[in-house]
Structure formats: structure tokens, C-alpha cells
Amino acid sequence: MKMGKKGILKALSLFLALSGCTPISINKLDLQMPKIKYEIREVKDLLRKKALKFEKNTLEWHITPEGLFAYNIDISKSFPGNPYLRRYGDVAIFTGIYLASQAFRYGVTNDEEALNNIRRSVKALHNLQEITGVEGLIARYYGKEENTHIESRRDLKELHKGSGKFEGYVFVGNPSVDQLAGVFFGYAIAYDVVKDEGIRKAIREDVSKIMDHIVENGMLVRDVDGKRANFTNMGPTTYSNLNKLMGLSFLKTAYHITGNKKYQEKYKKLIKNFGYAKKTLNVKWGVKGKLLDMEATFNDNVAFLGFYNLIKYENDEKLVEIYKEGIKNYWEEWVKGEGNSFLNFIFLASFPEYKGKSLAINEAIRSLYLLPEDKRGRRVENSKRNICKRKVLTKHFKFEEKACYPLPINERPIEDFYWQRDPYKLDGISGKNVEYGGLDYLIAYWFGVYHGFLK
């Protein structure tokens, strides 16, 4: 027996209600109570089957021969197992997040395929570090020179050739703090979930090298030329509270994984001497929804990756309360109501006693349901629709037209990773041969299942 659209929507409403959520109206349909056993199972199967479709598509089209996650590809020039990348700058962060998704998946399913994906990703991240020739320095991307087709001026400027065992390979350097955020997040989840000592040993060694590089350089990253990599200053001289948050998170995660006390000592020093902990109460500045939009939305994703590990691994109750207040401030001011499934789940896992939990779960499940299965490029022009719009002054001091409210995820422009993109953005144009990976769905889905939000 198959369900029509209305039947599935009814089932979704019931599933949300029995998950402890307040039912919502979708497309203004009258969602009446369906038969319980049959239709709840259908909704669970719908979300699970969508995840498995993205898993299959990822392995076939979005993993490079080196094991990295190819988030933006030209499908017309790609072959199974050998994607043609269009963008290279965020390969490190997304490979780390992919590693986390497979670790959550393995923690729930004990699936051998997920474990193989973990092994491959850990090896790829190791090579991403080793190819630079600088211990602890991680590249944004690496691959065979013949398979690398960089057009971005920024990436071309940071392109280097490998040597020794990496002869014939190239890599993109100058990693920023967001790349490290994904890598540390992935390493942490894999280390906690997987019991294979070979994998855990590899993670311990690589985390030690990365963290040593940061600490020995004064809480920043130095690129292959010895100069500070852009946006990596996590030391006391930085004006960025986001970077201070990430510095604490990296140190705490490294201490958890390696047991090396020097990371904990550095962590305590930054808190005691420079007030780092209280800086997490105000990570992002501005006023959401007003005239100013001065900070990039992708910082939201980076911050929440940092908060998750920081809160999870901190044992000092006073510090935990500060960090929980920090993520609560951030979520309520900048994320709440935007249909961001992944960040909603991170917030609820970090702040389980939150009174509005059911509504946040409701909102997250709705976005997972609506997230397009087809992430091929296409033209989206909401600016031509008769919807509420407003002018916003951006950080480039230009006025840009945006929606007055967060658009439902299936009405937004197609994005590489929805959880780090602007939900108020009206238009987007991608070529018909562009395909974005389904990592946004996979990490939110498996995170939600692992933490019990999608039982």
C-alpha cells in the first residue's frame, strides 16, 4: 500500500507529535489523525530512505580517490569514484563533518560500510596533513595534479606541489579556523564511538600534531611559507570571540583525545589570564532580522561545532553553565526559527533541559522532510515572487534584498551545505551540471538519530 502526499504529511504531523513536538501545518493541509502504526512507520522509513539515498550518492559521486568529500562537483565531467570538483576550499571541513556523520551512523547501526567510511576518512585527513610537509599543518585539499582543475584565484594562489611519496599530487594551503573546526569535530566523534584501536591511535597521533602546531605558534596556524594562515589567530590578541571559542574547543578536545596535560594547562591559562570562557557568551555581534547583517552565516555552523565538543568534554560545572548560556544566547538570537536541523540538534544535545525543546525538534524534522533529494544546480528566483522582502546592509556596505522571514528549505536556492547558508537569501543560480553533496542531510539525520531526537 502506498501513501499519497497528503497521507505522508499526516504521518509527519503524527510523528512530530509523538516525538514530543507540537504538530505544525504543512502547505496548509488539514492534518487529521491517521492510523498510528502504519503511518508512523512510513514517516520513519521516508527519512531513513532519504538518508540511504544520500549515502549511496555520496559513495558513488562525492568521494575523491584520496577519500576526501567533494562537496561541489560538475556531474557531467565526473565518473563514479572520481568526481570532478568545482570548489576546493572547504574540502577539509566537509571531510571532517562527513567523518562525524559516519561515526554517528556507526554508533546507531554498527554498519560495516560506515566503519569502512570512517577508516577511509581518517586516512584521508592524515594525508591532508602529511602532504604539507609541515608537522601539524592541515591542507584544505589534496589530490593528483591531473585530477585537480582549480579555477578560483584564491585557491590557485594557495596551490602547492607535493613531494616524496606525494610526487604528482598538489594541495591547497592556507587553512582557516573553519577547516579545523570540521576536522576536530570529526575526529572527536569517531574517537568516542569507534573501538578499533588502530583508528583511535591514528586520531590521537594526528590530533597531537595539529594541536602542537597551534600551541607552539602562539594559538595560531602557520602556513607552508611560515606566515600566519588567514583567520587562524586564536591567541589573546585576536578580536574574534569566535576564534577564542574555537581555541578553547580545540584544546579541550585534544586533551580529551590524547590525555596530554599541556593542552589542559593552556586551556586553563587562557580562561584565567584572558577571560576566554566569558567571551563565549557573546560569540556573534549584531541584531538578527534588523537592518544590519554584518557576519557570515557560515560562522554559525563553525561556532556550534566548537560549542558541542566544549560542552561535552568540560567537567567543571561553572564553566559548563557559562558555555551552555553561550550556546543558548547564540541559538535564540541567531538560529531559532530558521529551520536549521543540524544546529537545532546540536543545541538540544548541549542544552537538553531547554523548555522549547519540542518546537525545536519539530522545526528540525520539518526541514529534513522538506530538504530536496535532488541537489543539482538550478535557477531559484524568489525575488520575483510576491513575498515579504526587506533591504539589509551587508558587511560589504551594500544593500541587499532578502526575505523578511526564513524561507522553507525547499524554497531556498540549492546550497552546498544548507546549515551554513543564509535562510533569508532570495535567489541563486547554479549551472545544470552542478551537483552538491547531501552531507547536510546526512550529518543532521545521523546526529538526530544518535541523540534520540529521531527515534
pLDDT tens-place string over residues 403-412? 999 999 999 9
pLDDT band at 152 (very low <50, low <70, confident <90, very high): confident
CA nearest to 245, candidates 317, 183, 186, 323? 323
What is the arithmetic mean of pLDDT over 88-94?
Answer: 97
pLDDT of residue 392: 83
More confident residue, 40 or 345: 345
Give the Cα separation of 150 and 239 in Å (integer): 32
pLDDT of residue 22: 39
CA quadruple 189, 192, 196, 197: dihedral sign: positive
pLDDT at 291 over 50: no
DSSP annotation of 160 reads: E
pLDDT at 300 over 70: yes
What is the arithmetic mean of pLDDT over 2-15?
Answer: 54
Summary mean pLDDT of the chain: 90
Long-range residue pairs from 258-264, CB within 8 A, at least 24 positions apart, any chain: 258/204, 258/207, 258/208, 258/211, 260/208, 260/211, 262/215, 263/211, 263/215
pLDDT of residue 40: 56
Q: Answer whether 154's CB lies under 8 Å from 235's CB.
A: no
pLDDT of residue 399: 86
Adjacency order of strands within the sheet including 169-172 = 141-144, 169-172, 159-161
Q: What angle do CA 253, 256, 257 make, to 5 degrees?
A: 90
Q: Which residue is associated with the grid cell 544566547?
A: 329
pLDDT of residue 32: 32
Q: Tell me, what amino acid is at 148?
A: T
Contacts with 234 (C-beta within 8 Å, 6 or more apart), sequence order: 177, 214, 219, 220, 243, 244, 246, 247, 250
CA nearest to 104, candidates 454, 455, 442, 453? 442
Residue 338: C-alpha distances to residues 25, 61, 224 (Å): 16, 29, 39
pLDDT band at 24 (very low <50, low <70, confident <90, very high): very low
pLDDT at 258 over 50: yes
